[in-house]
Amino acid sequence: MYSGLFLLRLAVGVIFIYHAIPKLRDPQKMASGAGWTNLQVLGLGIIEFMGAVSLIGGVSTRFSALVLAIVMVGAMYHKIKKWHVPFMSAGSTGWEFDFLLFCANLTIYLKH
C-alpha cells in the first residue's frame, strides 16, 4: 500500500516539477499567453515546485497534495470557463490531464 502511494507521489511530483520549471525560468512567456502577470506565473511556479518537492520527499504531504489539488481546480476552471477547452481535444490538450492530476492529489490527501 505504502509503495503504491510513494509511486503516485513520485509521479505527481515529477509532473509538477516538469511543469513548474518553465514558469520559473521564463514567467513572461506564460504570462503573455495566459493573460496573467509575471508575478502570478512566478508564484504559481513556486507553489508547484515546492509542492512537488514536498510530495516526493514525504514532508507535509497531505497539505501539499491539497494545495496542488486546488491548483488543478484553478487550471480546470480556466480551461473550462475562460478558454472553453473541451474535456478531450484532438490535436491539443483538453482538461482530462488536469482532472487526473486533481484526482491523484486528492487520493494522496485522503490516503496519507
pLDDT at residue 84 above 70?
yes
In the predicted model, what is the mean pLDDT of residues 67-77? Answer: 98
Other residues' Cβ atoms within 10 Å of the Cβ of residue 32: 11
Other residues' Cβ atoms within 10 Å of the Cβ of residue 39: 10
| Grid cell 509575471 in the structure block, residue | 38
| Cα dihedral 93/109/15/70 (nearest 10) | 50
Which pLDDT score, from 0 to 100, does residue 35 have? 86
End-to-end CA distance of the chain: 10
In the predicted model, what is the mean pLDDT of residues 71-83? Answer: 95
Whole-angstrom distance, CA of residue 42 vs CA of residue 74: 15
| pTM: predicted TM-score of the whole model, two decimal places | 0.93
Which pLDDT score, from 0 to 100, does residue 34 have? 83
In the predicted model, what is the mean pLDDT of residues 74-80? Answer: 95
| Grid cell 506565473 in the structure block, residue | 41
What residue type is assigned to position 24 of the chain?
L
Q: Which residues contact 99 (CB under 8 A, 6 or more apart)?
A: 72, 76, 87
Instruction: Take residue 25 and report the three cell numbers written for it.
Output: 525560468
Which pLDDT score, from 0 to 100, does residue 1 have? 54
Whole-angstrom distance, CA of residue 64 vs CA of residue 49: 10
- pLDDT single digits (tens) 89-109: 787 789 999 999 999 999 999
- pLDDT single digits (tens) 9-58: 999 999 999 999 999 999 999 998 888 999 999 999 999 999 999 999 99
